[in-house]
Amino acid sequence: MSFIQAARRRQIIAAAISTVTAVGYGQASLARIADEAQISKSVISYHFANKDALLEQVVHQVVDDWARYMRPFLDAETTAGGRLAAYIRSRLAYMRDNHVQLIAVAEIVVNHRGPDGKPVFAERDAAPVAELLAILREGRQTGEFREFDPVVLAMTITQGIDGALTYWAEHPGTDLTAYGEELVTLFRLATQKKERRK
């Protein structure tokens, strides 16, 4: 693949992301995306087989970048509790710097359907959840965490972090770092064993 081809693809993907984020999945037509990129519709058709292929590339690229970003933060921690806090902080940090991409991906994953009417990317975002699940199971096995259902915890933590994104989107003035520390505290209290105090 030539250099100019790759550049065009990146440009089109970027335009698709900003368009989906701005007007939503349903209104993100090829015409609007082409308009956003200031190119003709057929350029998109030339570089991507069809709309589905374009959206799939959008999701693929963002998810990959996301996982690459979080990895070093997770690997730097040794205890399950530390990894959990790092997970929350790094996922939130990535969201702060890439919220446009993540909103677009969320729109696409939720709304993109196959001909049968069922979602296509059902398990695509399961990767970060699986990572989190592993952390929780490890903490339970080593006895670092209290007894709980790791599935419920993983789901709730994921949802809680996503909630920060949602809230931030609606209240742009929010201090996401402070929000993140609240979440870290919240889930530390929710996972740690009871300690004798005073």
Partner DNA sequence: CTAAATTCAGGCCGTGCGGTCGAAAAACGG
Partner DNA sequence: CCGTTTTTCGACCGCACGGCCTGAATTTAG
Q: What residues make contact with a copy of itself under the rule CB under 8 A?
A: 22-27, 110-111, 113, 117, 119, 122, 148-149, 151-153, 155-156, 158-160, 162-164, 166-167, 170, 178-179, 182-183, 185-187, 189-190, 194-198
167 binds, among DNA, a copy of itself, none (CB under 5 to 8 A by kind): a copy of itself
What is the C-alpha to C-alpha distance for residues 107 and 15, in angstroms, rounded to an integer? Answer: 15
- Beta-carbon contacts of residue 7 (< 8 Å; ≥ 6 apart): none
CB of 10 to a copy of itself, least distance (A): 24
| Helix-, strand-, coil-residue percentages of the chain, each rounded to 5 | 75, 0, 25
Burial of 103 (C-beta count, 10 Å sphere; 0-12/13-18/19+): buried
What is the C-alpha to C-alpha distance for residues 121 and 42, in angstroms, rounded to an integer? Answer: 26
Q: Which is nearer to DNA, 48 or 179 (CB)?
A: 48
Contact stretch for DNA (CB under 7 A) within 32-40, 60-68, 95-103, 126-134: 32-40
What is the C-alpha to C-alpha distance for residues 53 and 48, in angstroms, rounded to an integer? Answer: 6
173 binds, among DNA, a copy of itself, none (CB under 5 to 8 A by kind): none
Here's the x/- map for DNA, 51-90, by CB under 7 A: it reads as xx--------------------------------------
